[in-house]
A = this chain, B = another copy of it.
Amino acid sequence: MPEVRIEESTRFMVDSLKAVGTPESEAKAQTDMLIHADIVGHVSHGLNRLEFYINDIITKATNPNGKPMILKETAATAWVDGADALGATVGNYCMDVAIRKAKENGIGFVTCKRSNHFGMAGYWALKAEKQGLIGMAFTNSSPLLVPTRAKEAALGTNPISLACPAGNGDNLVVDLASTAVAMGKIEIQIQKQESIPPGWALGPDGKTTTDAQLAFDTSRLLPLGGFEETSGYKGYALSALVEVLCSGLSGSRSSPNICPWEVAGNYEPTDLGQCFIVINPECFAPGFTERIAQCLHHWRNMEPVDPALPVLAPGDKERITAEMNHSKGTITYAQKQYERYANMAKRIGVKPLQAV
């Protein structure tokens, strides 16, 4: 599979976004968001998504020059209009507001409507973590999650994320879809031409399938927990919780009304709802980072069932992958993805991605 230097993948994404009219600052911001996903190993949410964003700009569903603005605020809250701008433009705007409010008042709670896909939720939580704060980020998305007992999808993969510092550069990062898996994981299995485990998705007959392409085409994911007997209604409820914070508060579309995200580009604004929460640990008990460090130490040093599979703290898998990718300086992309981007480069007139 093609290996691409991180700088080259970054160059390609910035060039592509600029070629369709994105200002340089926003192209760089969007690329930083995408390359983060590639580096931490969630390649479904990295370069893999670039063509969706590019086509959404071409079809005018996304406005790369959109300027988010506050519609209503208190010392600790803000309601934001995302102006159909790129996900990173909206995310940076909202997170900056939430961080400022948290520094001044202990907490910043921001919701926005008229946003677009903002990549990995955890990327936004980490933006606050880098400043010594607790960050949380949530988004709704088009219907993929099948509520317990139902036949059809009616909620998004609606992720929940939290990141916080643990001292000495260490941290704890929670970032999870409220479905058993995110759709991107199924796409990656298709690209690898591999099957999926039972319990991830339903086929058209309403039964769990192991055929990745069939699962992708059917687009009906099981909630976290799986079937009712194993508490799948909890994943459904978590997705509903995200809907309350995102569309409920912001007035964006709710998941059942969001158009599926097509690689060819959508023809109307996506109008996602998102929620960003920042908490300042200094407003609570002293010693926050030390306590988080103790928890991480405890979990990482537990005896594993299989000595070859050590117990990880939430976020460790991504940290290990990022260290590996940074040390080799490259990201591995699937061959099909690499070819897809050669075509896109030709179409929009940018220098193609160069593998090493």
Contacts and interface: CB of A to CB of B under 8 A. Distances in A.
Interface of A: 71-77, 79, 105-107, 109, 111, 113, 134, 147-152, 154, 160, 162, 164, 172, 174-176, 180-181, 197, 199-200, 206, 224-226, 229-231, 233-238, 240-241, 243-244, 247-251, 254, 256, 279-281, 283-288, 291-292, 294-295, 298-299, 302-306, 309-314
Q: Residue among A247, A284, A287 with the most chain B CB within 10 A? A: A284
Contact of A76 (B72, B106, B250, B288): B106
Contact of A249 (B74, B225, B288): B288
Contacts of A241: 160, 162, 174, 314
Determine the main DSSP class of A at the interface with B: mixed
Contacts of A291: 247-248, 251, 254
A113 B185 CA distance: 40
A244 B172 contact: yes
Given A74-B107, A174-B238, A180-B230, 4 more contacts: A149-B311, A175-B237, A176-B237, A237-B314
Given A225-B224, A254-B291, A286-B251, A237 B106 contact: no
A283 B74 contact: yes
18 contacts: A75-B75, A76-B106, A77-B280, A106-B109, A113-B285, A149-B306, A151-B303, A154-B302, A162-B244, A174-B238, A174-B240, A176-B237, A180-B225, A197-B229, A206-B305, A240-B295, A241-B314, A248-B291
Closest 6 CB pairs of A and B: A251-B285, A77-B106, A76-B76, A74-B106, A237-B314, A249-B284
Contacts of A79: 283-285
A279 B110 CA distance: 11
A30 to B, nearest CB: 26
A231 B162 contact: no
A108 B247 CA distance: 20
A249 B281 contact: yes
A235 B314 CA distance: 10
A162 B245 CA distance: 10
A352 to B, nearest CB: 36
Given A176-B237, A230-B197, A111 B251 contact: no
A304 B295 CA distance: 42
Nearest to A252: B285
